[in-house]
Amino acid sequence: MTNTLLRRIYLLFFVVVSLFSILVFRLAQMQLVNRSFYDDKLTASTTYTVTTSSPRGQIYDAKGQALVGNTVKEAISFTRSNTMTAQDIKEIAQRLASYVTLTETKVTDRAKRDYYLVDEARFKEVVEQLPDDQKYDQLGNNLTTATVYNNAIAAVPEEAVNYSEEELKIIYIFNQMNAAGTFDTVFLTTGDLSPEQIAYVTANKAKLDGIAVRTNWQRQDIATSLSSIIGRVSTEQTGLPQEEADDYLKKGYALNDRVGTSYLEKQYEEVLQGSRTVRTVTVDKKGSILSDTVDQQGEKGNNIKLTIDLAFQEGVENILRDYYNAELAKGNVANSEGVYAVALNPETGAILAMAGLAHDTKTNELTTDALGTITKVFTPGSVVKGATLSAGWENGVIAGNQTLYDQQIDTIKSWFTDLAGGSMPITATQSLEYSSNTYMVQVALKLAGQDGMTEDLLKESVYQRAMEKLRTSYAQYGLGVATGIDLPSESTGFIPKDYSLANVMTEAFGQFDNYTTMQLAQYVATVANGGKRQAPHLVEGIYANDASGGLGALIKPIEPQTLNQVGISSDEMALIQNGFYNVVNGGGAFTTGREIGYGASVAISAKTGTAEAYVTDEAGNSIYTSNLNVVAYGPSDDPQIAVAVVLPHSTDLTGKTSHHIVRDIINLYMSRRGQD
């Protein structure tokens, strides 16, 4: 044996002894020095935080009448323990089916395949039959468990998941149970429980691990004309909306929490959502529960009370229905989309009513459509002329109650076009009383820096200047911008970016941009209160619960919100108000809204408007129609209600139906105030 070989053997022996010594040293360190650390590891426990939702707060009208609530009933619940497998849950679901009535069969193809593969033997068999490239990568390494499982899902034959109706019901229940987190409790979708079924489940709890009968709540919608603006709440099965789930989870929500998904329910989600019961559950290594403590006791959500008195809301809707049905009988609104009205408190922005009727032009069926007041847009017509004057004063192109000649301009005619002389000097207030289109066109021309129809007007930059100024002033009244209403998804109107000189001139008298009924109501409310644009709001206040869970004490009132002050003087605003008063109460031969005052219980100020347009009927014929609109407030000297009414596409081009509607709404409101 050579010396070199001996040296190598000694070196190897030395390395082995050294490694063995290190191992012995490490074992001694673990057993002696760090013994307590490893003892703790052996006896370590796992802690779970479990949250449970509480009933949702309720919504009431201005008089305290419930508009939505919660129904409480006995339901089957399932609590998943930390040791349950999917196979365990499948067996529990199958046993449960013999005790209660299962109803739902809507399950996805993926859910059927997941259910099929819960059986370990089936899963193993399917995986064994997968081609190698669906189990191993190019180097022969195992693919991830998730990848192999997805490949197995795809490989399940169609005939294997051709389940019966009864089996599908079990799969539906299984999915709900299997989706529950550790120690989470979910309520299962079953038929209503009979006393016998409750007794059976209770008596057989030993066979139904995690199953119990508990009291559950469900959102109950009360059918009223306000139902659409109340909105919807998700179910435990749908849980958090997918697109908002991350935000909700950051706020402490659970995936199966019921949340508002639209309108008031969504807008006031954080108010209405009850506080959660929070438990801390600690288990040992074997899965045995060491402790289960309640850290926070959940409470029912707070309530909200609306500014709308349901009786007044329904009264407004009845007025709309009666007049619209009369117009249907006359054949005047065969091609009309419906009729809409909004009433506001002009000082606070409180919404007093938002009512609408949608008209099916094929069947003539009328359906309530309160949401249409914030989602549907219409050409307003001459009701906007007060805002046009405002643009003139704000930009210094007219002064005070300035006189201009009402005369034909290009193809736009005046009242006096066909009379002797063809023109007449009228003041700003008279331009409202008589609803002079050409007075407003002259204001628009002046906003463009022109005194008449000039070649410069053909320059885009020139007429665009006028449009920008008009729209800026209109926006101060809420026209073409968000109103600030406490509801999501309102339309801000239809405000085209592309337009011509002709569009600018027609814009000046309300024949181009389109607005919602709510925007028109905010506009007239701003005139009524002297120039403060108040955000419309539906909620009067946030309330606690009384001892029985009903409407309790006021927690927080919703204060009026002033969005802006119109940029004209009080004297100039008084001219608009005076013009609106004369529309109804003036004595001129061309006074446009005198019929609004006939039968009115108080003095009313208003502005009427028509907007002509062609529509196509079912036979393909082109029909000439007019939007019959009115904005008004009353009493004129102390405004308490501001109203906008829109009646689109009537063939009665000079009809007064909207005049009668607005008068009757104000009369109804004043009569109810006298009773309160």
- Has 382 been annotated as catalytic? yes
The residue to which tokens 């395949």 are assigned: 113
CA-nearest of 655, 602, 605, 603 to 626 is: 655
- Cα Rg for the chain, rounded, in angstroms? 36
CB 536 within 8 A of CB 351: yes
For residue 77, give the nearest of 195, 283, 217 by alpha carbon.
217
- CA 470 – CA 447 distance, rounded (Å): 8
* Cβ atoms of 51 and 295 closer than 8 Å: no
Q: What is the largest CA-CA distance in the chain?
A: 139
CA-to-CA distance for 534 and 184, rounded, in angstroms?
46
What are the counts of helices (DSSP H) followed by strands (DSSP E) for the chain?
Answer: 23, 22
- Give the Cα separation of 466 and 505 in Å (integer): 9
Q: Both tokens of residue 445? A: 């021309």
Catalytic residue among 262, 382, 390, 636: 382
The residues near 424 (Cβ < 8 Å, ≥ 6 apart) are: 405, 406, 407, 414, 415, 416
Residue 555: DSSP 8-state: E
DSSP for 349-382 reads -BEEEEEEEEE-TTT--EEE-TTHHHH-EE--GG
Whether the CB-CB separation of 438 and 409 falls below 8 Å is answered with yes
Structural element, H or E, at residue 110: helix 109-117
Using DSSP, state whether 629 is helix, strand or coil: strand
- Where on the phi/psi map is residue 652: left (φ > 0), alpha (ψ -120 to 50), or beta? beta
- How far apart CA 422 and CA 443 sit, in angstroms, is 19
Residue environment code for 497-515, b if the CB has 16+ CB neighbours within 10 A, otherwise e? eebebebbbbbbbbbbbbb
β-partners of residue 575 are none
Cα 112 to chain center, whole Å?
34
Q: Report, as residue numbers or ranges, the catalytic residues.
A: 382
